[in-house]
Amino acid sequence: MTPPADLAVVGAGPAGLAAAVTAAGLGLTVTLLDAGERPGGQFHRHPAPGLGAARPAALHHGWRQFTDRLARLQAHRDAGRVTHLPGHHVWTVGRADGHWRLHAVAGPDETPATVHARAVLLATGAYERQLPFPGWTLPGVVGAGGAQAMLKSGLVLPGRQVVVAGSGPLLLAVAGSLAAAGARVPAVAEAAAYTAYARAVPTLLRNPAKLAEGARHGAALLHRTTRLLTRHAVTAAHGTTRVEAVTVTRLDPDWRPVPGTARRVPCDALAVGHGLVPRLDLATGLGCATRRTPDDTHALVVDAGQATSVPGIWAAGEPCGVGGADLAVTEGEIAAETAAHALNGTPRDPRRAAALARRRDRLRAFADVMATAHRPGPGWAGWLDDTTEVCRCEEVTARRIRTAVTDYGAHDTRTVKLLTRAGMGWCQGRMCGPAVARLAGGPPAADRRPLSCPVPLRHLAGLPADHDPTAPPPPTEEPEA
């Protein structure tokens, strides 16, 4: 066996990439794993080289910082300090005498791979929160971030006339990118009211950079052609084999549709999302403590140095609470520095440490203000009808879930799942989880799945008999003060 790396970083988005290059710069040996083929995560998702994009920066902010970081990554790889494993999805992390063992599947053939490390940094990002509505399973209805991801990587659009809807700062970024790429965006329907931020003007003023960024200059295009409707939602999508129109309805402050305000907007695609959910599957599997966020998701509890409640496990970026790419980078750098200190006693420059902490706290405060403003109101369930499929995978309707709740007394996602199969499909409840929790009347469940991704059974059988992510932690060496 090759000696364990000092640090395994899971996720090569803004947080993981910043952490990997910072840690390697401080002398740690780093193994960087990412499910995707190219580093960058969601924010810096970019086209494959074969697409020959001469100006990929048109779809991004902060492209220079990203390419600088890639160059540093390459230099560390050449020097043997970083092992970069793209196309590796880590599906579980366990302990092995004195260090951590990460199990991954690699490539289309799902080849098993195991990585050993003294410490682990989880930078696994987030996925979009979806709230169902009649017609949301029609082809052409896509995630807002999903449309953005497909545009950034494949240079494609879901349609020519794309309504953007849901809630959160990402919507405007997505609408701007779609418009810059040639789509007509007749309307952006935002369920919250941006005026909610007005109460936090001092926080806003200290944050000139917005929480989410899309294509450069996209916003200017929107200005001319798009209706921005706050306190509005798409409450139905219409069509037979693909979406042909959506119903846009005004909402009251609790997100309840206001009767008599529905109007039909023709379109051939809808990009929809209601904020982001931190991706915590590996962390919760390890027993890391979580907290409720202001927008009703769960995030990891981390200390000032980005260490989770489990010794030897650090986290950075969206798993610690959704906050955008700048915050993710800052947290990645802090995590790398404190991990280097814990593992090798590498001293931290107190001035830099203080500056990073200030920056993180400022960005986090701003993110919390936004999260509070965009937290889904309880009235959204009012736009479901009985036949709306809430669980896309298992095709479970709202009626069946409501029956499980009213007739069989199910009051949490687990019981609903056992009674109806909602949340039992391929996505492991990631798409329907927030909605099922609301219908059951319970709090949202943390992102807790036995495996991070579907894994061939033969790999499960191949796990060492002693695989137990929650067993007592391996001894960590005390840093010399």
Ligand X SMILES: Cc1cc2nc3c(=O)[nH]c(=O)nc-3n(C[C@H](O)[C@H](O)[C@H](O)COP(=O)(O)OP(=O)(O)OC[C@H]3O[C@@H](n4cnc5c(N)ncnc54)[C@H](O)[C@@H]3O)c2cc1C
* DSSP annotation of 161: B
Between 317 and 377, CB nearer to ligand X: 317
Contact pick of 66, 100, 127, 380 for ligand X (by CB under 6 A): 127
Please tell me the count of residues contacting another protein according to CB under 8 A. 56
* Minimum distance of another protein from residue 154's CB (angstroms): 3
* Minimum distance of ligand X from residue 141's CB (angstroms): 15
The identity of residue 427, as a single letter, is C
Enter the tokens of residue 29. Answer: 């040996």
Question: Does residue 149 bind another protein (CB under 8 A)?
Answer: yes
Residues 183 to 212: which contact ligand X by CB under 6 A?
A: 212
Question: Does residue 431 bind another protein (CB under 8 A)?
Answer: yes
Enter the tokens of residue 461. Answer: 């059988």
Between 33 and 187, CB nearer to ligand X: 33
Question: Does residue 108 bind another protein (CB under 8 A)?
Answer: yes
* Minimum distance of another protein from residue 1's CB (angstroms): 30
Question: Does residue 242 bind another protein (CB under 8 A)?
Answer: yes
Contact pick of 43, 66, 100, 127 for another protein (by CB under 8 A): 127
Between 171 and 191, CB nearer to ligand X: 171
Contact region with ligand X (CB under 6 A), list: 40-48, 342-350, 365-373, 377-385: 40-48
Q: Residue 233 and residue 246: Cα distance in Å, rounded?
A: 10
Give, in order, the Cα–Cα distances in Å from 115 to each of 3, 20, 22, 89, 226.
10, 15, 20, 12, 49
Q: What is the dihedral of CA 132, 135, 141, 144, to 10 degrees?
A: -30
Q: Dump the DSSP string for 307-325.
A: B-SSTTEEE-SGGG----H
To 5 degrees, how large is the angle CA 271–CA 272–CA 273?
Answer: 140
Q: What are phi and psi of 381, to 5 degrees?
A: -60, -15
Contact pick of 18, 93, 181, 440 for another protein (by CB under 8 A): 181
Q: Residue 321 and residue 249: Cα distance in Å, rounded?
A: 30
Contact region with another protein (CB under 8 A), list: 163-171, 178-186, 297-305, 465-473: 178-186
Q: Which of 327, 108, 288, 118 is nearest to 207 (CA)?
A: 327
Looking up tokens 């830099």, which residue turns up? 352
Enter the tokens of residue 337. Answer: 């520095």
User: Which residues bind to another protein, rule: CB under 8 A?
Assistant: 35, 42, 47-56, 58-59, 108, 127-128, 137-143, 145-151, 153-159, 180-182, 215, 241-242, 269, 392-395, 425-427, 430-431, 453-454
